[in-house]
Amino acid sequence: MLEANEATVSSSSGRARQRVRVTFARSENTRYVGHLDMVRTWERIIRRAGLPMAYSEGYNPRPRLAFAAALPVGCTSDEEVFDMILWQPCELSDVHTRLARVVPAGIRVISVKEESYATPALQTRTRATEFVATLRDDETRDSVAARMKTLLESPSLERTRRGKRYDLRPLILDLWIESTDGDCVHVAMLLKAEESGTGRPDEVVAAMGLDPVTAGIHRRRLILA
């Protein structure tokens, strides 16, 4: 057991609570699993692991889980992050082992760390996300560079999401060709991910005049404040 510290607080019932941050990766097997389904999947994983997960109060108690940023459907990822609250402190190595033992194919536990309760919520700390899109539309490096130049020089990029119009351009913080591999061009992008606006990699690919369905999109990292 861990001793109570700044990452551990006591509940009204006298039980110590611990905030644990889990980082995991998602591969091809889970690329079409939506965010809400992924949250439910982790609820089941934690129960199967036998961890003392804390629940919210009220008429409809929910597991105390908080994710940093939703991964767009169709993407894989090297870095997904969520915080969970345990009503009883546990050894982090034991938490890691238990989770890794029961996660389904397509999910890999990377790290388990203790987080201070004084740290702001993950959602409020997320600032940007970095993606790599593998373009396979018979595009050359030069043609992709020309499409990127046109996009970046555009003063605005009006798009529609869920029936609402928005400007994609200020959400693109950086965009560059990272490498080429055979017939594929790998384009990296740094996108804003805040409450005021979140850039989607598939929308960036579409704004370049390419089909995002044929592009392999991978989230490389999350950038937190």
> Is it the case that residue 215 has pLDDT exceeding 80?
yes
pLDDT in tens, 136-184: 878 899 999 999 999 999 999 998 888 889 999 999 999 999 999 888 9
> Is it the case that residue 195 has pLDDT exceeding 90?
no
> Is it the case that residue 62 has pLDDT exceeding 90?
no
Give the confidence band of 1 by pLDDT, cuts at 50, 70, 90: very low
**Token pair belonging to 27:** 């591969």
Average pLDDT value for residue range 62-68: 91
Give the confidence band of 41 by pLDDT, cuts at 50, 70, 90: very high
| CB count in 10 Å sphere of residue 47 | 12
Distances (CA, A) of 220 to 39, 76, 80, 170: 20, 9, 9, 21
Instruction: Report the CATH number of the 124-224 domain.
Output: 3.30.70
CATH topology of domain 8-119: Alpha-Beta Plaits (3.30.70)
Domain residue extents for the chain:
8-119, 124-224
Question: Would you say the C-alpha torsion 33, 36, 40, 42 has a positive or negative sign?
Answer: positive
pLDDT of 102 reads: 97
Residue carrying structure tokens 């991964």? 71
Give the confidence band of 16 by pLDDT, cuts at 50, 70, 90: low
pLDDT of 15 reads: 54
Higher-pLDDT residue of 59 and 202 is 202
pLDDT of 14 reads: 41
Task: Give CA–CA dist 78/98, Å, rounded.
Answer: 20
Taking a C-beta distance cutoff of 8 angstroms, is the pair 216, 134 a contact?
yes
> Is it the case that residue 4 has pLDDT exceeding 50?
no
> Is it the case that residue 8 has pLDDT exceeding 50?
no
Distances (CA, A) of 169 to 135, 143, 172, 199, 211: 20, 20, 6, 9, 18
pLDDT in tens, 94-134: 999 999 999 999 999 999 999 998 888 888 899 999 999 99
Strand 76-86 and strand 216-224: pairing? parallel
Contacts 24+ apart (CB under 8 A), 141-145: 141/177, 141/180, 141/185, 144/177, 144/185, 144/187, 144/208, 145/177
Average pLDDT value for residue range 39-56: 95
* Average pLDDT for the chain: 90
Taking a C-beta distance cutoff of 8 angstroms, is the pair 60, 96 a contact?
no
Q: Which residue type, as a one-letter code, is found at position 6?
A: E
